[in-house]
Structure 1
Amino acid sequence: MPASSSSAYKQSAETLLAADEPVVPVLPVLGMPVHDLGWNQALALIEQKLTSQQGFTHIAFLNANNANVMVRDPEYREVLGRCLVLPDGIGVDIAAHFIHGGRFRANLNGTDFVPASLTFIAKPLRIGLLGATSQVLQAAAVNFRKHTPWHEFIEISDGYFDRADPALILKRIEMARIDLLLVAMGTPLQEKWVDRHLTADHARVVISVGALLDFVSGRVTRAPGWVRHLRLEWLYRLWLEPNRLWRRYILGIPVFLGHVLSHRLRQPPAPLG
């Protein structure tokens, strides 16, 4: 997240929340509306969702890999269409520039956006963690508590529960009286599971976070700051885990760019603004 004072963020939040219905602009990527927000606006929006007494919001992220999944999986596309979708990574910036002539205001990837949101929101929240392995889940909870000790973190379950019979997990979530639930079960499973099973009875906001718990736990190392600044964290991850990620990046990036080119040729560019 760009360096800036918390007071500046709070001022932006007050400005945005002053409106009854804040206008949230979008830039569609391959037909999927992706919210085009700066950091201040995005943090204010999630604070509004979390402190509201009503409603249910499922937040997901769109990057090049998720977009490839979306193209071949109509059910996943439908689920994303019911989410508040945020831009993740340089791939969707390239797509936005090619399709619309402009890029997203901020790279709101979950690995940065979720910790920044927890820091930004001063009101203590009850935050549930669901997914990953039990070891990763426990380590992530410990580090989250160090990062934002005013929030309460509840370890719901690792990601290896019986998905054919989720009643026990759903009851556990409901009984925990959670404000925010972070679900880390991988795309597209996590988004579909949330969409199928969770409602406002379980949490005000649910975020499908992918590999976030791996990073927070320390199991996977983040790229150095200068690498992230150059928007090359994907290359760093590929270097760390080539056997697992080569298909996603070596094959997936050209496939994604092919989808973008095909989409651009099929329809004229949409005007910005």
Structure 2
Amino acid sequence: MMNECKTILGFPIFNGSREALRAELERRAAQVPGPLCLFYANSNLLQLCHGEAARFSEPGILIANDGVALNLAARLLTGTPFAANLNGTDFTPYLVRTSPIFRRVFLLGGQSGVAAGAAATLAASGVEVVGHADGYGDMTDEAALLARINGARPDVLLLALGNPRQEQWLLAHRDVLDVKLLVGVGALLDFLSGRVPRAPRWVQQLRCEWLYRLLGEPRRLLRRYTLEMGRFFWLCLRNRRGGEGA
């Protein structure tokens, strides 16, 4: 078992360094039957899936914190922040570049051409990309898609459909996927392909990448960073008053 986690809205969120998370994934992959799932928890995912925490709490699922809102919630509910920022945009490329058992990667999701562009970027950094498919036409024939993924024999499937759709898809199909690790990666493929620019490093260091993204895609993200984030903190406050979530 991991040394420590923080419980936010009933979800056990890993609390440790990126090296510790990689080690925990490798340990569980050797012990848990079937594919392991890695989900990155931001405020949007937790408030949308509130009430389904038990489904995300089994040994075959690890959840990492992603975003400043989770860090604020950890301070509110447990008194201390998370040990590290384990957002998927940084941790996922680190994992597939450095882990000895998560080397062969299949990319799925995004608009036409996005997965191919992301695959080229990862391959240029030394990652072994064994296949890719977009999140639209390539997903219409599910049986063919599953056969294509399994036929490529990846260690890792990176799925970019947005949450909670990507997490729900992975949970629904993991019993028929012959893959060690299933990861919901959100906008990662857009960033890797260059379709969406990532915030400058200084903005990331200020933990204001969410604001940079909001300014770049206001129509798509305004609701997430206003109403939905407000609901997330309301749920946290309600749980705190009720003695839950710590």
Amino acid at match of 2:62: L
1:188 to 137, 145, 164: 164
Contact kept? 2:45, 2:163, Cα under 8 Å: yes
1:259 maps to which residue?
A: 235
1:93 maps to which residue?
A: 71
2:37 maps to which residue?
A: 58
CA distance in structure 2 between the aligned counterparts of 1:124 and 1:162, rounded to whole angstroms? 24
Over residues 49-87 of structure 1, what are the superposed CA-to-partner deviations in whole Å (9 max), with x where a residue is unaligned? 56779642111011111112112xx45x45433421111
Structure 2 portions without partners, runs of 5+ = none
The two structures have a TM-score, normalised by structure 2, of 0.90
Contact kept? 1:60, 1:86, Cα under 8 Å: yes
1:206 to 182, 200, 214: 182
Q: CA deviation at 1:118?
A: 2.1
- Superposed, which structure 2 residues align to 1:61-210 within 5 Å? 61-71=40-50, 74=51, 77-82=53-58, 83-122=61-100, 125-148=103-126, 151-161=127-137, 166-199=142-175, 201-210=177-186
Contact kept? 2:101, 2:155, Cα under 8 Å: no
CA distance in structure 1 between the aligned counterparts of 2:101 and 2:200, rounded to whole angstroms? 31
Amino acid at match of 1:100: T
Q: CA deviation at 1:120?
A: 1.9
The two structures have a TM-score, normalised by structure 1, of 0.81
Amino acid at match of 1:222: R
Amino acid at match of 1:247: R
CA distance in structure 2 between the aligned counterparts of 1:209 and 1:89, rounded to whole angstroms? 13
CA distance in structure 1 between the aligned counterparts of 2:196 and 2:5, rounded to whole angstroms? 32
Q: CA deviation at 1:137?
A: 0.8
Q: CA deviation at 1:252?
A: 2.3
Q: CA deviation at 1:229?
A: 1.0
1:246 maps to which residue?
A: 222
Q: CA deviation at 1:200?
A: 7.3
Structure 2 CA distance for partners of 1:268 and 1:52, relative to 1, 3 Å: closer
1:227 aligns with 2:203: yes
Structure 2 CA distance for partners of 1:24 and 1:161, relative to 1, 3 Å: farther
Contact kept? 1:65, 1:252, Cα under 8 Å: yes
- Find the residue that maps to 1:255 and give its secondary structure: helix
Cα RMSD after superposing both structures = 2.3
State the identity as a percent: 37
Structure 1 portions without partners, runs of 5+ = 1-21
> Number of residue pairs matched?
244
Contact kept? 1:58, 1:205, Cα under 8 Å: yes
Q: Who wins on radius of gyration, i.e. which is larger?
A: 1
Q: CA deviation at 1:196?
A: 0.9
Contact kept? 2:41, 2:63, Cα under 8 Å: yes
- Find the residue that maps to 2:49 and give its secondary structure: helix
Over residues 84-129 of structure 1, what are the superposed CA-to-partner deviations in whole Å (9 max), with x where a residue is unaligned? 1111111111111111111111111100100111232256822111
